[in-house]
Amino acid sequence: MRVITWNLGRRRRQANEKAWAYLCNVLHADIALLQEAAAPGDSQIGHLALHLLYRDWGTGVYAKTLALRQVSVPFDPNRLVVCEVSIPAVGPVYLVSLHAPTTKAGKEVDPVKWCNQALDYLDGLVREHPAIVGGDLNASRTAEQWWPGAGNGPLFDRIDAGPLFDCHHKFNCEEEQTYFGSTKVPIQDDHIFVTKPLADLVTKCYAVDNEETRNVSDHIPIVADIAVAAAEIGEGECASGAG
């Protein structure tokens, strides 16, 4: 089973369609945890729960074949989206897409503080329930060296000590740059976590950095493969192509 987190960059419609086509037809996502995404023009993509932040783009959860049951969230529900799915051989699993803000209503906000508030909620939600969590945290382990004292180090110390397991960190000694927008700081904004009982099922996790992903967004996707056979979750159609 392939899980992807990707901030699609709220770019023009054509770029969004190309990103969806790449996500479905090249990366073959079974599950995608999306930020700054608009719904694709192809209505036959599968299941999508998208909570809009502005006009037609927002934060969402996509599943190719699995039915999504949306879970009510008391904390910033347009930036923290939770759905439940049932995965054969695993059981009920929460899928969580989150997008930490850097501004709200034109004012700067602290993404690390937001992440800690989100964790206050998620720690209770996922401690006794399998979950896959991914998104754009606007925070990273290496950010501590660029902005000392901003809280990035303690944030990831908290994550490591809690119920969530950092998939990319399992397979890579160092973080990979995933944001290439208005910054010269090479940080990994984007992350995938699973609850620790699922950690042993994660077989690989990596960033996809190529011309195609760079052209459709200012973020690149993170991919995690989890050892649940595609046959166990069913086969289905995805987006037919770019518009």
Cα–Cα distance, 134 to 191 (Å, whole number): 6
Per-residue pLDDT tens over the stretch 53-101: 988 899 999 999 999 999 999 999 999 999 999 998 889 999 999 999 9
Q: How sure is the predictor about 43, in pLDDT bands with cuts at 50, 70 and 90?
A: low
Cα–Cα distance, 36 to 7 (Å, whole number): 6
Per-residue pLDDT tens over the stretch 202-230: 999 999 999 999 999 999 999 999 998 64
Specify the amino acid at residue 93: V
Per-residue pLDDT tens over the stretch 140-155: 999 988 889 999 999 9
pTM comes to 0.92
In CATH, which of 3.60.10.10, 3.30.70.100, 3.90.45.10, 3.40.50.300 is domain 2-233?
Answer: 3.60.10.10
Domain regions of the chain by residue span: 2-233
